A and B are shown apart, each in its own frame.
Chain A
Amino acid sequence: MMKTRSRAMLGVASCLTAAALVASGCGSGGGSSTSPGITKTSVLIGSHQPLTGPAAPGYSEIAPAAKAFFQYVNAQGGVNGRKINLIYKDDGYNPTNTVTVVKQLVLQNKVFAIWGGLGTPTHTKVVDFLNSEKVPDLFVSSGCPCWDDGTKHPYTFGWQPNYTIEGKILGQYIKNNFAGKKVGVFYQDDDFGQGGLAGLKQQLGSQIVVAKPYQPTVTNVAPQITAIQKAGAQVLVDFTIPAFTALERLTSFKLGYKPQLAVSNVGIDPTTVGGLLKAFSKGKANTALIEGAITDAYLPSPTDTSNSWIQLFKKIHDQYDAKAPFDGNVEYGMASAYTFAQALKNAGKNPSRQDLVDAVEKGGFTGPGLVPFRYTKTQHGGFGGGQIATIKNGQIVTQGQPMVTDPGGGAITVSNMKQAQVGDNGVVKP
């Protein structure tokens, strides 16, 4: 009996100790009384990113690059006299962790806004929370059309062109330039791939003879590629992440299958894909297997050193983020950070959270983007289109005109926006 009693006592004592431990996890807050996370001299923003885990490759470079950009801006005096501090936390692409770290950022760290939350299955889990807490949820790092709803989620904004828009632009190009040829689609079995496929189907209809999905967890894609080859597809559209673009290329090479390739901008970055193909090139260029591929670009190519934006980003990279390779992911992070700094500037001298949201909805941003944004009171979509580009000598080379459209059945029209130059908007000096 003594044993039982002492065990029970131990149990209760343990619970009390446990409570003390839980209580010690209380955090501290900060910020002014009007909106949290912003003072006269600084503004605190947060993000959730896959820094570790299977989704980390490539994407883990985005937030450090954005941080580097903010450091450069801060060194020049910041935005409206405020330094931008970015905290990003690792969620390992696990939605439960996303919920925890975002709630931590909002409730404990008391950030002013969330920037660039990465991933569709991860971010969809915190959208309701952020909107109910009225936290600006800017420039989600995902092309899901789900962010494009100013009525339902007034605080959430996308940034990159959404996947259906991409599919439409690629589809139209294929329709016009490869009329009558059979098209096959190899796509990721989630919002990304399915959204892209929907856009392609809208433009190409029955020209698509076969569409095979893949799971990111299963790296053996031979069954799908053999089926696509068997169906006789002469054009192959990849809505793939870089690892699977590379896997598709290797499998096609193995089979001696040489279709005309088109790849979503998500999966075409030549540095990333080339890096994965390096060991197979045997003396030829790393990017030999993606040479000639078509893609849709919305930012200048990272290798275009004549572009003032690339020069700026490279300078910032070499100074603040030199360990990372200078590739599409780094450019993405910096360009998205630029748009954030721009929105913050337009939000006024003493912005509240609502001011920031209003500034984005007012739109009119120009920057490194090749196409305009789709930001209005009801549209929160991000880049509205892209420009067809081809891989020439391992570099993304744009051609033709930038095109814009909507994720629905709207037409695809030419955009006459000219790309801004660095320093045009007073956000950052070259």
Chain B
Amino acid sequence: MSTRMQTPTQPAATELARPPEAGRKRRAVRLPEQTLARNVLITAVLALILFALSENFDPFTNLRLATVAYYFTALAGLTVLTGLNGQISLGHGALMAVGAYSTAILVGRSGLPLAAALAASAAITALVGVAVGAAASRLRGPYLAGATLAFAIGLPGLADKYPSAFGGENGLTVSPPTPPTSLGANFPLERWQAWISCACALIVFLVLANLLRSGVGRSFRAVRDDEVAAQLAGLNVARVQVLAFVVSSACAGLAGGALVVTTQLAAPGAFQLSLSLALLTGIVLGGLGSLTGALWGALALVYLPQWSDDIAHDFSLSTNVQSNLPLALYGIVLIVVIVAAPQGIQGALHGIVRRSRARLRKNPATQEGA
């Protein structure tokens, strides 16, 4: 798990430390040792995979891909905040709303190009994150949860209070982003939306994957593990916590912008408390503190309601049962997965990989031709 402390290694030391591998197959591909290079390579590979997928998907599945991508963007930021830095936030749905409304206003009213609007939205949300983070740095545990929950509930009220600016209950509609003419006249809109959303996700992945391994990431973990020790080591705890909030807010803001691109809407009804709770559910379900966990969480958030809906429709039941069955299944799955896999899906997978590797390692004598 990425939350474990890393023993500092250098390339030479690793060579010496590796045991003799007389009978073992050499891995054909070796990833670079440098963090940045490695992550850039992984990002490039992922980009290629996503490109290939989006070429082959039908429009609706491309929309699903875009949805998974923007959920990943938000979840990645949140898992860094909560998993790495130990601050619980029930308000990230509201931060997504800030990003969404910013994008909607910048694109719709000011006619800014999309890329600039998305970047600006992330920046605006990061600014809001400074304020929220500053307040949050004084709070711990359930008090932080309560304050961020109040934030999640209170903020959408602004849309109703200033209907001329924010469109009130109906919110703001944004016209769909037009693909550039260089891609051809018939380039499907949904694929373009998927590309934009995936681009945001890949950028966030690259930045956070590097951050996890950097000094900043270590300072996050240090503050989470023991505030007093971190302070004694010279870290400014409050500043670290605010930084974590800012990073996760920027991700949430970008995700909100991608949401606007995908759904063409920014309305209070889309950013209720249930969204914040869903985000929290996503990171825990996927595996706290890991980016792959954020991916599992994003998939779960998009596909779990879909699957429970499909299963419910397979039975023909009375209306009451039929309309509530998807929710019941969703709740049951949440409970069962957390109880069965306390480290989330990523943790469970990691455990399986580790156990099977241990089992293989247990019988080296019988395998190396004696």
A and B touch in the complex (CB under 8 A): yes
Give the residues from 257 to 304 in chain B that come closer than 8 angstroms, CB to CB, to chain A.
Answer: 259, 263-265, 267-270, 272, 274, 291-292, 295-296, 299, 303
Across the interface, do A6 and B353 meet the contact criterion of CB distance under 8 Å?
Answer: yes
Interface size on A, residues (CB 8 A): 50
Q: Does A393 count as interface, using CB distance less than 8 angstroms? A: no
A102, chain B: closest CB distance, angstroms: 11
Across the interface, do B324 and A125 meet the contact criterion of CB distance under 8 Å?
Answer: no
Across the interface, do A128 and B57 meet the contact criterion of CB distance under 8 Å?
Answer: no
Q: Does A327 count as interface, using CB distance less than 8 angstroms? A: no
Taken together as a complex, chains A and B put the C-alpha atoms of A125 and B170 apart, in Å, by: 8
Taken together as a complex, chains A and B put the C-alpha atoms of A94 and B269 apart, in Å, by: 5
Across the interface, do A21 and B270 meet the contact criterion of CB distance under 8 Å?
Answer: no
Q: Chain A residues near B346 (CB, 8 Å)?
A: 14
A146, chain B: closest CB distance, angstroms: 8
Q: Chain B residues near A56 (CB, 8 Å)?
A: 323
Q: Chain B residues near A189 (CB, 8 Å)?
A: 160, 169
Q: Closest residue to A11 on the B side, CB-wise?
A: B292
Across the interface, do B42 and A11 meet the contact criterion of CB distance under 8 Å?
Answer: yes
Q: Chain A residues near B311 (CB, 8 Å)?
A: none
Given contacts A11-B292, A107-B60, contact A94 B170 (CB under 8 A): no
Across the interface, do A99 and B299 meet the contact criterion of CB distance under 8 Å?
Answer: no
Across the interface, do B323 and A51 meet the contact criterion of CB distance under 8 Å?
Answer: yes
Q: Does B49 count as interface, using CB distance less than 8 angstroms? A: yes
Set B31, B46, B175, B326: member contacting A15, Cβ < 8 A: B46
A residues in contact (CB < 8 Å) with B: 1, 4-8, 10-12, 14-16, 18-19, 21-23, 25-27, 51-52, 56, 60, 64, 89-90, 93-96, 99-100, 103-104, 107-108, 120-122, 124-125, 128-129, 189-191, 215, 323-324
Taken together as a complex, chains A and B put the C-alpha atoms of A1 and B11 apart, in Å, by: 9
Q: Closest residue to B270 on the A side, CB-wise?
A: A96
Q: Chain A residues near B362 (CB, 8 Å)?
A: none
* Pairs of residues from A and B, 9 with the lowest C-beta to C-beta distance, nearest first: A51-B323, A190-B169, A107-B60, A96-B270, A125-B265, A99-B263, A95-B267, A108-B60, A95-B269
How many inter-chain residue pairs (CB < 8 Å) link A and B?
140
25 A-B contact pairs sorted by A residue (CB < 8 Å): A1-B33, A4-B38, A5-B31, A7-B292, A10-B353, A12-B45, A14-B292, A15-B49, A16-B49, A23-B56, A89-B309, A90-B326, A94-B274, A95-B263, A96-B265, A100-B67, A107-B60, A108-B58, A120-B170, A124-B173, A125-B171, A125-B264, A128-B175, A189-B160, A190-B169
Q: Chain B residues near A104 (CB, 8 Å)?
A: 60
Give the residues from 290 to 342 in chain B that come closer than 8 angstroms, CB to CB, to chain A.
Answer: 291-292, 295-296, 299, 303, 306, 309, 318-320, 323-324, 326-327
Q: Closest residue to B59 on the A side, CB-wise?
A: A107
Q: Chain B residues near A14 (CB, 8 Å)?
A: 292, 295-296, 346, 349
Known: A26-B61, A95-B269. 6 other contacts (CB 8 A): A12-B46, A14-B292, A94-B274, A95-B270, A107-B58, A190-B169
